[in-house]
Structure 1
Amino acid sequence: MDDLKALSTLALVVETGSFRRAAVELGVAPQATSKTVRQLEAQLGVRLLHRTTRRLNLTDEGERLLAQVRPALSTIRDAMAQSRVSRAELGGMLRITAPRSLGQHLVLPLIASFVEQHPEVQVELELEDRISDTVADKIDVGFRTGGGMDRNVVARRLLDIQHWICASPQYLERHGRPRQWADLARHRCTGFRHVNTGKLMPWEYGENGETTYRDVPASFTTNDVDAEVHAVVAGLGIGQLPSYIAAPLIREGRLVQVLARHTSERIGLYLYYPQRAHLATRARRFIDFAVAQLRPPR
């Protein structure tokens, strides 16, 4: 038997003066409230209520029991009521996680726009290239590229992330523009070394809607996406960069896209959050905001 439920039922029966009225508040049959109190009496081995056809009275044992548990029951009710209010309110802490580069270039501007509309929300942003444990790390919302999500989270694909082959205007002026993939062998290229495995990542080769992978010799390698971008902008070589970083640099004239016909769209940007029946209002509002801002119109 659920002791807390039984004690709460007893207190409500006494407060309302009848099993029937208590049952109405609890949304159960009167027989159920009577049965719960009888089970509590049987468990304790004492009678708690004097029952007549017209009224109910606590026994001495019942009086002593309720006097002891009423403060605790009141505290529990207040805490539950406060939790319901907190869930309904927008204010509070919102914990977000994202990979470092993605967080700096896409998520931070998103957070800034959201907080401008909802200044009562506090945000804690964890930039971490590993996939966070949403439960252990108390994460409300996460962002990730690619798949491999935990089964205990809800994942929503927001948009495709392309990989663009780019070079600085200064590099192309000095070394010429590659016209076909084979030309890359005669150029200085950059490479990205995977943070977790330490392996040099192959470049994605897109053609006729298919994506394959090709090793490209690198004269400069790094395990940081932004460092690779800075290296390409500085003219160290040609690099294959995420479109969400390269696009504004191309608009500014700091990068030029080459071999555009070999662009791939294999990787997606995902938003994920814990599988919970009741998300905090601020988390739900931020999720809806992120989807509206990042998902392209159909």
Structure 2
Amino acid sequence: MDKSRVISLFIGVVRAGSFSQAAVAEGLAAQSVSKAIRQLEDYLGVRLFHRTTRSLSLTDEGQRLYELACPGLRLLDEALEEVRNRGDDVDGLIRIAAPTSFGTHLLAPILCTFQERYPRARFDLVLADQFTDLVAARIDVGFRAGSPPDRNLIARRLGDVVLKICAAPAYLEKYGTPTRREDLLQHRCTGYRQANTGRLMPWELQGGDGTLCVDMPCVATFNTIESEAVAVMRGVGIGQLAAYLIDDDLAAGRLVHLLPELDTRNAGIYMCYAQRTRMPSRVRLFIDHAFEAARRQLGGL
């Protein structure tokens, strides 16, 4: 027996003054309502109504149950209404997971512009280069770079991860500038080691026959691309870095773009979430805002 449902029907019968009118209000057959009340009486071991062919009235036990149940049902209605209204409100917490570099360079400005529009929205931002299990971690929206996430998630591609070879002016002054792909093997290079596997990633170089994966002679390896970018800017070596991370430094002259014909864009940046239906308004609005803003920043529009 669904106790809350049966109590609700009981209160409906008392307020309507008849089984048939309560049944119409609930969209049920009168027999269904009568059966539910009998189940409740059997469960309680008391009669709740005096029934005749012409009248219906509460017993003492029925009156007591009505007096006790009404406040509880009212509280339940208020709780349901509050949660329903909050679903349409932008006031609340949005939990987000993203790679460290993406979160720092692209996502943080997006959060700021969203809060300018919806100042009551709050964020809990988890930055990690390992991809977070969105469902287990109760994350509303996740971002990842690389291949699309598994099919259990809705994924929207924001743009390409463009990899550019670059070096600091001080490095080029000291060690010279490579002019061909083969020259890179004679230079001091940096590498990225995947945080979750520890695997050193080869460089991806665009060639006439497609993309080549080359194991470069690394003088330093890093498990975050931000730390690698800092090292390259300090002149440690030549690095292959994501454009969104270093385009401002290229424009300012802190880094020099080398061999642009070798740039690759084989991976994507994705925004993902578990479902689109029945999500709070604040999450739905943030998804739309972040999609448009990130696409603009990544050159996807």
TM-score > 0.5, shorter chain as reference:
yes
Hey, what does 2:210 align to over in structure 1?
210
SS of residue matched to 2:139: coil
Residues 209/38 of structure 1: CA separation in 2 closer, same or farther (3 Å cut): farther
The answer for unaligned runs of 5 or more in structure 1 is none
Instruction: State the distance in 1 between where 2:15 and 2:154 align.
Output: 43
Q: Is the 8 A contact 1:94 1:124 kept in 2?
A: yes
Q: Is the 8 A contact 2:160 2:300 kept in 1?
A: no
**Greater mean alpha carbon deviation, residues 239-248 or residues 170-179:** 170-179
SS of residue matched to 1:88: coil
Instruction: State the distance in 2 between where 1:211 and 1:40 align.
Output: 72
Give the structure-2-normalised TM-score: 0.89
Q: Is the 8 A contact 1:49 1:57 kept in 2?
A: yes
TM-superposed deviation, 1:55: 4.4
TM-superposed deviation, 1:111: 0.4
TM-superposed deviation, 1:219: 0.8
Hey, what does 1:40 align to over in structure 2?
40
Hey, what does 2:135 align to over in structure 1?
135
SS of residue matched to 1:278: coil
**Greater mean alpha carbon deviation, residues 1-10 or residues 60-69:** 60-69
Hey, what does 1:196 align to over in structure 2?
196
Deviations 1:86-122 (A, max 9, x none): 1111111111111211110111111011111111111
Instruction: State the distance in 1 between where 2:207 and 2:21 align.
Output: 72
Instruction: State the distance in 1 between where 2:300 and 2:20 align.
Output: 55
Instruction: Please tell me the residue identity of whatever aligns with 2:250.
Output: I
Instruction: State the distance in 2 between where 1:40 and 1:211 align.
Output: 72
Hey, what does 2:241 align to over in structure 1?
241
Q: Verify: 1:116 aligned to 2:116, yes or no.
A: yes
Hey, what does 2:173 align to over in structure 1?
173
SS of residue matched to 1:136: coil
Instruction: Please tell me the residue identity of whatever aligns with 1:26.
Output: E
Deviations 1:254-273 (A, max 9, x none): 12222222222221111112
Q: Verify: 1:17 aligned to 2:17, yes or no.
A: yes
Residues 255/45 of structure 1: CA separation in 2 closer, same or farther (3 Å cut): same
Q: Verify: 1:270 aligned to 2:270, yes or no.
A: yes
Instruction: State the distance in 1 between where 2:287 and 2:33 align.
Output: 42
Hey, what does 1:254 align to over in structure 2?
254
TM-superposed deviation, 1:45: 4.4
Residues 192/13 of structure 1: CA separation in 2 closer, same or farther (3 Å cut): same
Instruction: Please tell me the residue identity of whatever aligns with 2:126.
Output: E
Instruction: State the distance in 1 between where 2:40 and 2:22 align.
Output: 16
Instruction: State the distance in 2 between where 1:87 and 1:275 align.
Output: 15
TM-superposed deviation, 1:69: 2.8
Instruction: State the distance in 1 between where 2:76 and 2:151 align.
Output: 33
Instruction: State the distance in 1 between where 2:102 and 2:273 align.
Output: 17
SS of residue matched to 1:219: strand
Hey, what does 2:98 align to over in structure 1?
98
TM-superposed deviation, 1:27: 4.1
Instruction: State the distance in 1 between where 2:178 and 2:291 align.
Output: 37
Hey, what does 2:88 align to over in structure 1?
88
Instruction: Please tell me the residue identity of whatever aligns with 2:62.
Output: G
SS of residue matched to 1:149: coil
Name the count of aligned residue pairs.
Answer: 298
SS of residue matched to 2:218: coil
Hey, what does 1:186 align to over in structure 2?
186
TM-superposed deviation, 1:276: 6.0
Residues 284/3 of structure 1: CA separation in 2 closer, same or farther (3 Å cut): same
TM-superposed deviation, 1:285: 0.5
Instruction: Please tell me the residue identity of whatever aligns with 1:246.
Output: I
Give the structure-1-normalised TM-score: 0.90
Instruction: State the distance in 2 between where 1:221 and 1:214 align.
Output: 15
Instruction: State the distance in 2 between where 1:204 and 1:19 align.
Output: 74
Residues 197/35 of structure 1: CA separation in 2 closer, same or farther (3 Å cut): same
Hey, what does 1:58 align to over in structure 2?
58
Instruction: State the distance in 2 between where 1:47 and 1:151 align.
Output: 54
Q: Is the 8 A contact 1:152 1:275 kept in 2?
A: no
Instruction: Please tell me the residue identity of whatever aligns with 2:93.
Output: M
The answer for unaligned runs of 5 or more in structure 2 is none
Hey, what does 1:279 align to over in structure 2?
279
Instruction: State the distance in 2 between where 1:247 and 1:232 align.
Output: 14
Deviations 1:136-179 (A, max 9, x none): 32221111112363554322211111111111223223333222
Hey, what does 2:74 align to over in structure 1?
74
Instruction: State the distance in 2 between where 1:109 and 1:184 align.
Output: 35
